[in-house]
Chains A and B, each alone.
Chain A
Amino acid sequence: MSPTSDPGQPPPPAAIDQPPPDAPRPVETLLGIENVVKHFPIKRGIFFKRQIGSVQAVEGVSLEVRRGETLGLVGETGCGKSTLARCITRLHPLTSGRIVFDGVDLSDLSPRQMRPYRRRMQMIFQDPYGSLNPRRRVGSIIGDPLTIHGVAEGPERKRRVQELMEIVGLNPEHYNRFPSEFSGGQRQRIGVARALALRPSLVVCDEPVSALDVSVQAQIINLLEDLQGEFGLTYVFIAHDLAVVEHVSDRVAVMYLGKVVELAETAELFGSPRHPYTAALLSASMIADPEKARSAHRVVLYGDVPSPINPPSGCRFHTRCPKAQPICSVEEPPLEVKPGDPAGHVAACHFPVQPGETLVGATPAFSEALSSLAVTSPEAGRESAG
């Protein structure tokens, strides 16, 4: 991936194990995310607003989503996962880059031109409370897509809505209820039914279970998996719960500060992570077996995620990386296959984690040394004292 994004230019196929984008698109690629950049301007001034900076939420992400697969997207809060999801569904305009859906470039379509593609590309939202209009009945919420796209009207619409409610495990008799009369899990089922109403091929799930009880999470995940089999859906599944992502995903992309740092098949990524950030992320997830948990090694990262307004130079992770070297703050590592890895496993790191290597968390002294190179949060120093 190129460190600077030149808008308009089709990017080099970085994270790609497929033919280049110029060739006729292979059928199995449903969604191409090509060097997508999303900056939110920060403006100041009352009358003459000038831009004083920008939040670089997504900084040149390239991914391919294959038909029928589930691509997991993990990363810390604020790493740009949700922004990327909204870029895919065109809820946010892109700063630059392309979203190619089934061979069609969506990035420059007008809202009117976009409508036929909206039918085939739906979204499930994180908050089952905020994402359902509290003043509308469930029947009309689920039936809305049918009305808007002129698919069904009147009794036919009602029949299809009730069918959808049954598919997602809701009582069709509750057609006339309001969202407030349902529990969190049921509400998320309503959201799923709405997303399925138009029989989409791609569903972008933006942390669909993170607001739910653990017991309910499993229900919703199983529902999503069943539906995938039944309707041949392709998922982009965003989460910060690694166990959930490991369970549902075929492939997993790890994001850090707006960039994809590693991408691999699920088992490959969880088995032998190459990027130190992935390794730290994995070691931080809880292990159910206490025996294993005792012997497990945790990689402790110091400091906070740097601000996306002013991201670190070079590799964005170098301020917190236990393996960082001087070159990391200067040169951005490309996202590429590391020696010894299968073709689909790419990582962006100058010094990838070797199999069997134990990562030692960056020592506070090391962090201090690094702070001369870049911004380090004050927490690192405090933790060294304690």
Chain B
Amino acid sequence: MSLAPVEIPTQVLEPAAPEDGQGGGRAIQGRSPLRLALARLRTDRMAWVAAGMIVLMALLAIVAPLISAATGHSAYNPDLVNGTNSFGQPYGPGQAGFLLGTDNLGRDILVRVAYGARISLLVGVLATLLATIGGTVIGLVSGYFGGWIDALLARLMDAVLSFPYVLAAIVIASVFGGSLSLTIGVIAFFSWAAIGRIVRGQTLSQKEKEYVEAARSIGAAPFRIMFVDILPNLIAPVLVLGTLLVPVAIVFEATLDYLGVGVGPPIPTWGNMLADDQGSAGFGAWWFWVFPSVALLITTLGFNLLGDSVRDALDPRTERIFAMRRKGGAASGGPNGTAPDDSASVAEPAPS
């Protein structure tokens, strides 16, 4: 995700596979551990389900203006004339052309959920990206240099992790006023330390390896060793943590919005939809809270499941489980040819 130096190869390995099987090809392209992980990921059905959930929400976010245009319903402006019935009550799902009903200001919940997906995904992904980059860099620096730098940064991480972050976020938002960028910043600030700590620990173990000594002996500068030599060995944990951080960030954002210190009321977010509607939920307007909640659930579940799959795919020790799964799935037309090839190329070391 955030790890620019490592390209996740998108063109895949069909041509290499049969050649490897015969052991004959002349210019055999070595398969990076990441490629192998990707190949494993592709055989994981749960990963496909998770990706489907995420893609669904992403599509919803992308087409939000189209939905708004097609239905003629605004996400922002209250429309008590068209959006409520003659008694001024909101429409239920399916009534008067509102697929998911309207809220008590007459706004289309479908349109608002779709616009909410934009905020949730934007905040979730951006905050995670920032937190991952920050945590990785700080963790690497802390672990590699050690000494007083490490003492300082490690204590800083402890301090951030031990903060009551919701309270702190409320204070920050009430001082500076809620906004999108502030929300992203606050979430990133309270999330990076978790990644930083893991990266620091991994760096501490990696820097004792002989390859780091070898890099030093050929005269590599510290930052080169950190980012060219050590970082690729940390991709696995960072990728897994990063993926699992997205749903946390999304829920964090929803929490802030629910408390009214997030992005702010005119812009629809799942969090403030839940907050706005809680007063009305009492008289049976279940659609007020069910649909934003379901959207939140699908998104966070999708990212969590994907994170689990990424973890499994990056950890060669789970290969046996995958081989078993593949055997089960092979009958249903899976690419049989890849199975022996994959198990042969798993000879690489575990991404510790």
Please name the residue on chain B nearest to A115 by beta carbon: B219
**Whole-angstrom CA separation of A275 from B348 in the bound complex:** 46
B229 at the interface (CB under 8 A from A): yes
Q: Which of A122, A130, A144, A176 contacts B215 (CB 8 A)?
A: A144
Q: Which residues of B contact A114 (CB under 8 A)?
A: 219
Chain B neighbourhood of A310, CB < 8 A: none
**Interface check B70, CB cutoff 8 A:** no
Assess the A148–B217 pair: CB atoms within 8 A. Answer: no
A138 to B27, CA, bound (A): 14
Q: Once bound together, how far apart are the Cα atoms of A130 and B210, in whole Å?
A: 5
Question: With A135-B235, A176-B29, A177-B28 known to touch, is A144 a contact of B218 (CB < 8 Å)?
Answer: yes
Tell me if A198 is interfacial: C-beta within 8 Å of chain B.
yes
**A125 in contact (CB, < 8 A):** yes
Q: Which of A118, A148, A176, A178 contacts B348 (CB 8 A)?
A: A178
Q: How many residues of B contact A (CB 8 A)?
A: 29
Taking the nearest CB of chain B, how far is it from the CB of A372, in angstroms?
41
Cβ-defined contact, A144 with B26, below 8 A: no
Contact of A148 among B29, B209, B218, B232 (CB under 8 A): B218
Contact A137 B30 (CB under 8 A): yes
Are A123 and B214 in contact (CB-based, < 8 A)? Answer: yes
**B26 near A132: Cβ-Cβ < 8 Å:** no
- Is A136 a contact partner of B220 (Cβ separation < 8 A)? no
Cβ–Cβ contact A176 & B30, under 8 A: yes
Instruction: Say how far A160's CB is from chain B's closest CB, in angstroms.
Output: 15
Question: Are A136 and B213 touching (Cβ within 8 A)?
Answer: no
Known: A89-B217, A135-B33. A148 touches B224 (CB 8 A): yes
Q: Is the CB of A180 within 8 A of B218?
A: no
Task: Point out the residues of chain A lying under 8 angstroms from B214, CB to CB.
Answer: 123, 125, 131-132, 191, 194
Q: Least Cβ distance of B34 to chain A in Å?
A: 8
B32 within 8 A of A: yes
Minimum C-beta distance from A158 to chain B (A) = 13
Q: Are B219 and A123 in contact (CB under 8 A)?
A: no
- Output the least CB separation between A79 and chain B (Å): 20
Q: Is A91 an interface residue (CB 8 A)?
A: yes
Chain A residue nearest to B233 in the complex (CB): A135
Evaluate whether A118 and B219 lie within 8 angstroms (CB atoms) in the complex, with A174-B28, A180-B348, A181-B30 already known.
yes
Given contacts A133-B232, A135-B233, A178-B30, contact A145 B219 (CB under 8 A): yes
Q: Do A180 and B210 form a contact, CB below 8 Å, given A119-B219, A144-B220?
A: no
> Is B216 positioned at the interface, with any CB of A under 8 Å from its CB?
yes
The A158-200 residues at the B interface (CB cut-off 8 A) are 173-174, 176-178, 180-181, 191, 194, 197-198
Residue B175 CB within 8 A of the other chain: no
**B224 proximity list for chain A (CB < 8 A):** 148
Are B347 and A133 in contact, with the CB atoms below 8 A? no
Q: Is A225 an interface position by the 8 A CB rule?
A: no
0 or 1 for each of B28-49: is its CB under 8 Å from A? (1 = yes): 1111110000000000000000
* Residue contacts A-B, CB under 8 angstroms, 29 given: A91-B213, A111-B221, A115-B219, A123-B213, A125-B214, A127-B210, A129-B349, A131-B210, A132-B211, A133-B211, A133-B215, A135-B233, A136-B228, A137-B30, A137-B32, A144-B218, A145-B218, A145-B219, A148-B218, A173-B26, A173-B27, A173-B28, A174-B30, A176-B29, A177-B28, A180-B348, A180-B349, A191-B214, A198-B218
**Which B residues are closer than 8 A to A by beta carbons?**
26-33, 209-211, 213-221, 224, 228-229, 232-233, 235, 347-349
Known: A118-B219, A135-B32, A178-B30. 7 other contacts (CB 8 A): A115-B219, A118-B218, A131-B213, A134-B233, A145-B219, A148-B221, A180-B348
Kindly list the 4 A-B residue pairs having the minimum CB-CB distance in the complex, ordered from nearest.
A177-B30, A135-B232, A118-B219, A180-B348
